[in-house]
Structure 1
């Protein structure tokens, strides 16, 4: 299987006082599976977005996301916040 066809995953952390979200983990194949497994085990939302995952793979772990990814990541954060709000209503 070619590398571009293997599963990729990146984990982000964002809090209101941050300048930008931080990449906390990134990996391909087995490591991607482990990142997703840990997220699910800790009730962290998982959003599938292949294009964004591809771009986040180029960001060093521990670094802020680059400005060109702000809009795409903001959409993901807004989506997760909407899911959280809906879950709170139940």
Structure 2
């Protein structure tokens, strides 16, 4: 039963940005539980880097598919794109960098 609860807590969203068609990134997939696992699994199998942020995923999964990201979330999305620019493909190194940035962001918010 614990595994089921753990699965149901997962959330995931996939974004796409086409500067010729959209003014902001848009949500192309979002879901919770089993659907979140499938979104993440599909991204990883396709070589798409995955960024983990539970708070942001919670917000994005509440939005409609095809919706553009609202301005209030632009900074968070920019940070993700910056993260991807430094993506190395080494899961341990990337995880450590993600944790470092998360701590840095947390410290900036509390200052």
Higher Cα radius of gyration: 2
C-alpha distance in structure 1 between counterparts of 2:63 and 2:24, whole Å:
13
1:6 to 9, 22, 31: 9
C-alpha distance in structure 2 between counterparts of 1:39 and 1:11, whole Å:
8
1:48 to 29, 33, 52: 52
Give the structure-2-normalised TM-score: 0.68
Give the structure-1-normalised TM-score: 0.83
The SS at the match of 2:47 is coil
C-alpha distance in structure 2 between counterparts of 1:61 and 1:6, whole Å:
20
Question: How well do the aligned residues superpose, as a CA RMSD in angstroms?
Answer: 2.0
Q: CA deviation at 1:55?
A: 0.8
Which segments of 5 or more consecutive residues in structure 1 lack a partner in the other structure? none
Greater per-residue helix proportion:
2
